[in-house]
Amino acid sequence: MNKKDVFGQALYDFYRFGRTEPLLLHTSYQDIEEMPLDVFFRDNSQLPELEHIALALCDGNVLDVGAGAGSHALELQQKNMEVTALDHSKLACQVITSRGVNRVINADFFGLENSDIKYDTLLFLMNGIGLSGTIQGLEKTLQIARKILYPGGQIIFDSSDISYLYDDYGVKKPAHYPGIIEYQYEYKNEMGVPFEWLYIDQEELIKVADKEKWLIQIVYEDENSQYLARMSML
């Protein structure tokens, strides 16, 4: 197994065999959670309202960032939209291709800074914007987005306020921004590389957007402090 791609291996095995050993997620707040793999293979009838709204907002040439198993890209492609699935996992990209997505890029989003290809919509679902890792990383994400979006382009993503971890579950607040969580995947007794994931509350998002000169529209909120945002360049 590629130690650096235990998530991709788990996706690949689930796609091939229908079930696998558990994919575990170690967290910086000391919990170990099981990541349900079937959530990456949902069809249209299984998508939550937030994701249906996000897909409906997509326009033009779409880049599905952190595409996972490609479910959202497939939905857009079936609507005859021009969509490209992007994932840094080589094995995930093999799954996406096998499932029928026509355009797949195996790359890290942060490597697109000098790309000549431009898009109308950047889609980051299932808190895909979290790949930014930190507040500074989110600023970098917006800077790259500005370079690879056409004028009038948009970013669509969901995130959530995770202050409940500290308010309701007694988790000790870190010294850094509390929406930054460190994760590490474990699959078949192999550990992946630790990584930071960002959950950004709306107030902090507004600060970053103002600094980077982006306009924000919150288009959906649920009862669990999760929201869907649309951002466009000022």
Alpha helix segments (H runs only) across 83-201: 90-98, 135-148, 164-168
E-strand stretches of 125-205 = 149-160, 180-187, 190-191, 195-198
Distance CA(62)–CA(50), nearest Å, equals: 18
Which residues on adjacent β-strands are paired with residue 219? none
Provide the pLDDT confidence category of residue 172 given band limits of 50, 70 and 90. Answer: confident
Mean pLDDT of 116-121: 96
Q: Is the confidence at residue 43, as pLDDT, over 80?
A: yes
Which residues on adjacent β-strands are paired with residue 221? 227
- The percent of residues above 70 in pLDDT, for the chain, comes to 99
pLDDT, position 19: 78
For the chain, the distance separating the N- and C-terminal CA atoms, rounded to the nearest angstrom, is 45
Task: State the DSSP string of 50-63.
Answer: HHHHHHHH--SEEE
What average pLDDT is seen over the chain? 95
Provide the pLDDT confidence category of residue 207 given band limits of 50, 70 and 90. Answer: very high
Provide the pLDDT confidence category of residue 142 given band limits of 50, 70 and 90. Answer: very high
Q: Is the confidence at residue 171, as pLDDT, over 90?
A: no
Provide the pLDDT confidence category of residue 3 given band limits of 50, 70 and 90. Answer: low
Q: Is the confidence at residue 4, as pLDDT, over 90?
A: no
Mean pLDDT of 108-134: 97
pLDDT, position 170: 77
Q: At what angle are helices 135-148 and 202-212 packed, to 10 degrees?
A: 50
pLDDT, position 169: 77
- The percent of residues above 90 in pLDDT, for the chain, comes to 89
Q: Which amino acid is at 30?
A: Q
Distance CA(102)–CA(157), nearest Å, equals: 23
